[in-house]
Structure 1
Amino acid sequence: MKKQAFIYISLFLLILSGCRQKTIELGKGISFKAEQNISYGKDTAQKMDLYIPDKNADSGNVFIIIHGGGWQGGRKSQLTSFTFDLMKKFPHTIFVNLEYRLASSTRFALPDQTDDIKTAMTYVEKKLKIKPKYILLGNSAGGHLSMLYAYHYDQEKKVKAVVNIVGPADLNDPGFKNYDDYAFLEKHLINPKLVDGKLSLMDFGNPVHWITPASAPTLSYYGTADHVVPVSQKKILDSVLTRNKVYHASYEFNGDHVGWERPPHASFLVGKIEDFLETVDKK
């Protein structure tokens, strides 16, 4: 009995230590309590890293960071470093770095991935007992998901702003059809049951299709040498946002699809995000 009790106590302590928060020190007195790989749903892919400021946490805003990977790959760890850069700039803001269910030849990306954004929001609100506004920030496929969720699925208007980094805004853009896995998107991006006969699958999946004058303010960042998501996407998105009188800003960097992460482009973007959100707050 004593041996069995010892085993149970040891397991309990192991589990407890795995759930314990740790502190992320970012210099200049900035620190966050971090809980990593939190399960926000029943699927093993539904994990998040949650970062809460140690000092003067502002529960009115939450960043949700959404990784890229062509809707069928990628990990939240890809954006951990950039998330830390943002945390330095916004030391009082709560951050979520999100992992979501991936598409495959037997699993559609949508609605799973947009549902995961909503489920993560609900989890954060229940866990922290807050009702915040969200800034959705995603790169590549994550940028697409951020826009699509904000423009189409955010019925409760919880999204304060979108930061879209090299995300496809128009899947019908001839330049984007050169994407290597475009055939995969045609077959596996969207469950056909979501779409009525009036729309094509690609139209349904187009963030620009759902933009209205009530859409969330949007900041975009595109590369001039991006052969995955061409800079033509920036012009299309800007045009539709302008037509609907949605506040937006967009910038270009000299680089390819992942060039935004390299100096000095990432720091430039962080600064522009700060400026953009300050303007949004004044509107």
Structure 2
Amino acid sequence: MRKIVFLLLLFSGVVSAQQSYSVDTSYTVKSTYNKLIKKYPAITIPVVGKNKNVDEVYDVVYFKTKERTLHIDGFINKSKKQNPAVVMIHGGGWRSGNKSQMNFLAQEIASKGYSCFTVEYRLSLEAKYPNGVYDVKNAIKFIKDNAKKFNVDPGKIAVLGCSSGGQMAALIGTTNEKPAFDDPLNKSKSSSKVNAIINVDGVLAFRHPESSEGEMASFWLGGSYDEKTENWKQASALNHTDKNTPPILFINSSIPRFHAGRDDMIAILNQNKIYNEVHTIENSPHSFWFFEPWFDETVQYTTQFLDRIFK
């Protein structure tokens, strides 16, 4: 099923030649592989090939200002005119990483009957919270604005994120239709509302007994908890979870700190009879989704959940 390995895509940090902002390229598949291979000698890079039912488009501009142009990559299932969409957010501690790191997952999920989009967003060296959140919500609006072109059902949108991207996905989903979390510069009439959340090893609360977020979170949030208390509270999805939260899937590593606040969120979801699933992959490291044997498992849990919610 999979024949082509895009090693160059995964093993490099993508840096625009025209950029005028700093980029941290420390979080890559290659650096993660080198870090994990001694403890997990059986891991391999997934082999993912093009699917005849999936059209691929790269570096589509979804939002532009005088200072910045932002892009998405699209993996569009063309077997139907309307597919549920999956908007995908890379990890990297809000500071590093790039959209191409999510493309293997996007290709594979798209082959199962979805239109998937990996999102470039401003990282903490360039812009502090909440700008990255604005960016992803802008991408959601753009996808809805171009739903026919992308074979998307605008009423069936899921947001999926890994690590810090998982934190952002949960925040985006729990702040549906809350104007304070939408970019005031975006004049689109489309809503940034999503209908499902997939959180892959992302924290739900920054200030929590299970959380150990420190320097990376402080840098993104504009200061320490004492300096930027409101940002730390506002950026925690747990603080927004209520009866309006969409269904959510948690896929977690075996490292507890990466699901800080999850059980408290589930209690609220259950109280409001909101569907949720948890899958904790035993003996797995953080960033497990990059590698086999966990890549296929991640795809399986994701597509089963999406099929249940949307199909």
TM-score after normalising by structure 1 = 0.76
RMSD: 2.8
Match of 1:38, SS state, is: strand
Q: What's the secondary structure of 1:55's corresponding residue?
A: coil
**CA-to-partner distance for each residue in 1:128-162, whole Å, 9 max, x for gaps?**
44634211011011111111111114355731111
Write the mapping of 1:193-272 to structure 2, written as runs, cut at 5 A. 200-225=230-255, 229-253=257-281, 254-272=283-301
2:137 matches 1:102: no
Counterpart for residue 139 of structure 1: 162
Distance in 1, Cα, partners of 2:172 & 2:160:
11
Question: Is contact 2:242–2:272 with CA below 8 Å preserved after alignment?
Answer: yes
Match among 23, 34, 39 for residue 56 of structure 2: 34
CA gap 1:96/1:182 in 2 versus in 1, 3 angstroms:
closer
Structure 1 residues 136-175: aligned runs within 5 Å: 136-155=159-178, 156=191, 158-175=193-210
The Cα offsets for residues 67-97 of structure 1, whole Å up to 9 and x where unpaired, read as 1111122100111112122122x23x21111
Query: Structure 1: how far apart are the matches of 2:224 and 2:176?
Result: 16
Amino acid at match of 2:127: R
Residue 154 to residue 256, structure 1, CA distance change in 2 (3 Å): farther
How many Å apart are 1:127 and its aligned residue? Answer: 3.0
**How many residue pairs get matched?**
244
1:72 aligned to 2:107?
A: no
Distance (whole Å) between structure 1 residues aligned to residue 252 and residue 49 of structure 2: 31
- Specify the code of the residue in structure 2 equivalent to 1:251: H
Equivalent residue letter for 2:53: S
> Matches of 1:31 and 1:143 in 2, distance apart?
28
Unaligned runs of 5+ in 2: 1-47, 179-190
d(CA) in 1 for partners of 2:101, 2:85: 19
Higher RCO (C-alpha 8 Å, min separation 6) = 2
Query: How many angstroms apart in 1 are the aligned matches of 2:272 and 2:79?
Result: 39
Matches of 2:309 and 2:264 in 1, distance apart? 22
More helix by share: 1
Aligned partner of 1:272: which letter?
Y
Percent of pairs with identical residues: 20
User: How far does the alpha carbon of each residue in 1:183-222 deviate from its partner, in whole angstroms, 9 at most, with x for none?
Assistant: 32453599x9xx9xxx732111110110111211000011
- State the Cα distance separating 1:113 from its structure 2 match: 1.6
- CA 1:178–1:170: 2 relative to 1, 3 Å: closer
Q: Distance in 2 between matches of 1:122 and 1:182?
A: 26
Q: Name 1:117's counterpart in structure 2.
A: 136
Structure 2 counterpart of 1:244, which letter?
A: N
**SS of match in other structure, 1:119:** helix
The SS at the match of 2:159 is: strand
Q: Write the distance in 2 (CA, Å) between the matches of 1:249 and 1:138.
A: 15
From the CA coordinates, give the structure whose radius of gyration is larger: 1
Contact kept, 8 Å, 2:205 with 2:236, in 1: the verdict is yes
Measure, in 2, the Cα distance between the counterparts of 1:256 and 1:36: 30
What's the offset of the Cα at 1:108?
1.3
| Alpha-carbon distance in 1 for matches of 2:252, 2:224 | 22
Could you say what secondary structure the match of 1:255 adopts?
coil
| Structure 1: runs of 5+ lacking an equivalent | 1-23
